[in-house]
Structures are given as C-alpha cells and as structure tokens.
Structure 1
C-alpha cells in the first residue's frame, strides 16, 4: 500500500531519493536540450530543496515509489521534480502525489497548480492534460532562442 509522507531536510533516504529522481528522468537524456536540471542535484542540494519547499514522497513500506516538490507562489503552487520510479509508473503514484499537491494548494488558499515540462516531452503534455492541466505559456531557457518548455496550469475547484 502506498503512503504519501511529507519530508524535510531530516529525511534519512536522500541517496535513494536522488537515485529515484535520476532513474525516473533518465529517459529524457539525449531527448531534451538543455539537459534536465536533475543532473545538477546533489545530496546536499536535495536536502536544501526539501527544507525550502514542501516535499512529499510516496512509500511502499520503506521503498521509495515517487516524489513531488511544491513551492508556493502568489497565484499558484508550483509543482517540480514530480518523479515516479520506473517500476511504479502507471500504478497511480503520480496521481496520488498530484492529489496531495492539490490538498496543499487548497490548504494554502492557492487556486491552481502550475508546472513546466519540456517541449520535446509530448507524452508528458498529454499525461498532464489528462490530469486537468492546460497549456498556459511557452518559455525558453537562458541562452536559447527557441521554446524549450511549456507551462501548464490546473485551476482547482
């Protein structure tokens, strides 16, 4: 049974969490340009991220199944580093993590979730659309003249 747990900098499984993020983002290597910011994560920066943001993990016992990092903004809760273990994909873990993000947004009085996904990852665009997100902007990473990511927003009831 999957349990969603909030974590902070005292979390004891940052090595496993970093490995989970890297393995779940590995399919992007050689597909997206610029490369994923996941490659810049370290154990220390991940612990700092858990301290600075609202972070949750999905656990099956002690085994990490997924994670989500959320950052409150003026008009939305930004969702980042949504990652699901390759072995757990398609089993509802991502949906469960997004539900907890929605609950968090409601608790903070924020009317929407916002995320960014790379322009090349059309499958992600479709998946997020199926979860109620709509495209709201196109963005470019610094130094790029072409669109490198799209912003998607889900307005909450």
Structure 2
C-alpha cells in the first residue's frame, strides 16, 4: 500500500534518499534533453532548503520512497516541480496519487490551477500530463537558447 506523507519538519526527512530517487527517475533524460536537467544540480542541502521553501510530498511503499513532488504556491496557481517516480514502480498510479495531492493542496489554498514545465523533447511527458488534464499554454526557452527548450502546461481546477 502506497502512503503519501509531507516532506520536511514533522514529516519525511531522508533527503539523501529523495535525491537518489530524483536522480534515478530523471536519468532517462540524460543525453535526450538540452540543457541538461536541473536535477543534476540538486544536493542533499538544496533538497533540505527546497523542503523549507516549498511544500513537498513523498510516496512511500513499505517506508521506502518511490515518488515525490514539490509544490510552490504562485499568485494564480500551484507550481508542480520535481515530480519523480521510481522507474521500477512507474505505471502503478504513484504519479497520479502525487498529482492528486497537488490538486488537494491547490484547493486548500484556493488556487484555481496547477502549472508545470516539461522539456520539449519529452513528448511522453506531454501526453501523460495531457491525460491528467493539463494543456500546453506556452513554449519557452532557457536563458542562452534561441529555440524552444520547454513547454508550460496548466490544469484548471474549477
């Protein structure tokens, strides 16, 4: 049975395990996306700070982290970042459970939408997020790039 807990002060605090989970989950992007994933810049200390600055949740299977999500309230939405699911457990609804948690938090905070960004090359992600009700709202480029490198997607919750 998958349990979802908050990351941080009174919740799950094994940031080393979360870092390893994120790196495993994002490793399929290596050599596929340009610029490289910001996951490579994460450290245990930066995840500890992320847990203080944002609202994070971890999915646990028998106490072992198998997924995580970090959420940041913005003026008109809840930003979804670093959604990661252990590669060997993908397809079991863990990502959906974490996204359900994001929707519940957005409702609690009276925010009318979720927003995320996904790399232009990761068409599978575009389809997955589309199946979860997200729609593309913008195409953007990372600093220093003269081509589209990522898309923004939003899901209205009202």
Q: TM class, shorter-chain normalised? A: over 0.9
Deviation at 1:5, TM superposition (A): 0.4
Counterpart CA distance in 2 for 1:89 and 1:50 is 24
Indicate if the aligned counterparts of 1:9 and 1:48 stay in contact, CA closer than 8 A: no
Indicate if the aligned counterparts of 1:9 and 1:47 stay in contact, CA closer than 8 A: no
Unmatched 5+ residue regions in structure 1? none
Unmatched 5+ residue regions in structure 2? none
TM-score, L = length of structure 1: 0.98
- The runs of at least 4 aligned residues of structure 1 exceeding 6 Å deviation read none
Counterpart CA distance in 2 for 1:15 and 1:9 is 15
* Cα deviation digits, residues 119-140 of structure 1 (max 9, x gap): 0000000000000000000010
Indicate if the aligned counterparts of 1:117 and 1:124 stay in contact, CA closer than 8 A: yes
CA root-mean-square deviation: 0.9
TM-score, L = length of structure 2: 0.97
**Structure 1 equivalent of residue 5 of structure 2:** 5
Counterpart CA distance in 2 for 1:12 and 1:156 is 30
Indicate if the aligned counterparts of 2:7 and 2:13 stay in contact, CA closer than 8 A: no
**Structure 1 equivalent of residue 78 of structure 2:** 77
